[in-house]
Amino acid sequence: MYDIVLLPPSFPIVAMENPCLTFVICSILDSEDFLLIDVIHEIAHGWFGNAVTNASWEEMWLSEGLATYAQRRITTRVYGAAFTCLESNFRLEALHRQIRILGHDTPLSRLQAKLDPGVNPSNLMNLFTYEKGFCFVHYLSQLCGDPDNFDSFLRDYIEKFKFRSVVAHELLESYLHFFPHLRDETTGRSEGLEFDCWLNAPGPPLSQPDLSQGSVFTAPVETLSQLWMSEPLDVEAASSFANISDWQTFQTVLFLDKLLDKSPLRPEVMMQLSLCYSADLATMNTEIRIRWLQIVVRNNYQPDLPQVRHFLLCQTSRIYTIPLYEDLSSGPLKSCALEIFYQTHGRLHPNLRKTIQQILAQGGSAVQPESAVPVLATELCAQNPTSLRDVNVTA
């Protein structure tokens, strides 16, 4: 028997597995594809994470990387390889975006991360844990020659270690014991592909799966993003190329992420994007809307700024608030963020409230909810009043 419990949107974690029971925040319900992936991923934790658990925070990939691999094996069987490749493409692009931001040498990108004194264990729960971990597991599945054979190994691994905590060495020794011909071969130890390098080298995955089967979904996204970035802009060609209302969610968020990477955009491009898509995007799911609103903020696009305020007044989920607060606070719209926080802080989870206070305090003194109004008043004096009036209009 398996069941799902829907939690208030202020619950700090999107989804959390428990034996035969998954907790999911209700604010993700409108994002059908994301909900599907989250539920399957949490089910996979029944084996990787619950039945067999990583022995320390420093090797979270043993739970998350294996669960992500199992999740994608399931979605490939049920929904097809193209869908799985699309979702993987979206996640891996996000991984490489994080590498560009943090740098190739960030210690957080090691699979065997070091929990040194002062390091918050929560920081080890990142895209590297999931996606670099997945790439390593996928590499192991290819190294043994057949994904079905690797499935047999995983079943043997679960049976051997069930109800125990393990370290990476035990997984890899079990793997080489199951595939003894690999122990003496040089393939797994060739430069740049040895197990130790996978586990301890920082930076991107040493290899990635072939995602070409997803090109039926990803190729239109690439073409559309290139059309909007072309100089000079051909508005007719870009606006008529595809109806994104017919796209899958992962296609649309992949497209918007590409626009986010290029922001701030040329003013002409931003204006035409809004004219073409803003009305439709406003009716789509939350995963799509937050990305569009991040684009609006990073481009300080006045006509659509009221949507940002309305969105944040309605949202209390960490994943749907932090990105916008970070963008608002790093630009000319920080006073808008302060005002919204003052109005909503009582509905936020204490951990989220503290995080937003830290974001708003960057470059200035600490922000307490009760002090937001006077701080806001100070900010207002330094801001363009027309800009703030537009922000504060309820959409």
pLDDT value at 386 more than 90: no
- The pLDDT tens digits of the residues spanning 255-283 come to 999 999 999 999 999 999 999 999 999 99
* 85, 213 Cβ separation under 8 angstroms: yes
At 271, list the tokens: 């204006």
DSSP state at residue 117 = T
**What does the pLDDT look like over 171-207, one tens digit per residue?**
999 999 999 988 876 554 544 448 999 999 999 999 9
CB atoms within 10 A of CB 180: 8
- What distance lies between CA 146 and its chain's CA centroid? 29
Encoding tokens for residue 194? 């040895």
Q: Average pLDDT over the chain, rounded to whole?
A: 88
What is the SS3 assignment for 24? strand
Dist. CA 196–CA 184, nearest whole Å: 16
- The more confidently predicted of residues 118 and 95 is 95
CA–CA dist 214, 258 (Å, integer): 17
Q: Distance of CA 17 to CAs 20, 63, 88, 258, Å? A: 8, 12, 21, 31
Identify the weakest region by mean pLDDT among 185-189, 340-344, 352-356. 185-189
What number does CATH give the domain 3-200?
Answer: 1.10.390.10
**Binding site residue list:** 41, 45, 64
Expressed in percent and rounded to 5, the helix, strand and coil fractions of the chain are 65, 5, 30
Q: What is the structure's pLDDT at 122?
A: 75
Residue reference for tokens 């684009």? 295
The pLDDT value recorded for residue 340 is 96
The tokens for 104 are: 């190739």
Burial level of 6, CB count in 10 A (0-12/13-18/19+)? middle
Summarize the confidence of residues 209-219 as an average pLDDT: 98
Query: According to the model, what pLDDT value does residue 378 have?
Result: 34
Where does the pLDDT of residue 389 fall: very low under 50, low under 70, confident under 90, or very high at 90 and above?
very low
Counting beta carbons within 10 angstroms of the beta carbon of residue 29, is it exposed (0 to 12), middle (13 to 18) or buried (19 or more)?
middle
Q: What pLDDT does 186 receive?
A: 52
Distances (CA, A) of 247 to 29, 216, 217, 219, 250: 18, 11, 8, 12, 8
Give the pLDDT confidence of 103-155 residue by residue, as tens digits: 999 988 999 988 778 777 777 788 999 999 999 999 999 999 989 999 999 99
Region 301-309: what's the mean pLDDT?
A: 96
Catalytic amino acids?
A: 42, 130
Distance CA 235, CA 273 (A): 9
In this prediction, residue 377 carries a pLDDT of 32
**Residue 286: pLDDT over 90:** yes
Residue-level pLDDT at 331: 87
Closest CA to 304 of 295, 296, 315, 312: 296
Chain position carrying tokens 């903020």 = 297
Residue extent(s) of CATH 1.25.40.320 domains in the chain: 215-299
Ranges in the chain annotated CATH 1.10.390.10: 3-200
The answer as to CATH 2.60.40.10 being correct for domain 215-299 is no
Annotated binding site for Zn(2+): 41, 45, 64
Percent of all residues in the chain with a pLDDT value above 90, rounded to a whole number: 75
Alpha helices in 108-234 (DSSP H): 127, 133-143, 147-161, 168-178, 195-200, 215-229
Q: In this predicted model, what pLDDT tens digit does every residue of 229-254 receive, in sequence order?
A: 999 999 999 999 999 999 999 999 99
Residue type, 230: S
DSSP annotation of 30 reads: T
- Residue percentage of the chain with pLDDT more than 70: 89
Structure tokens at 305: 């700024």
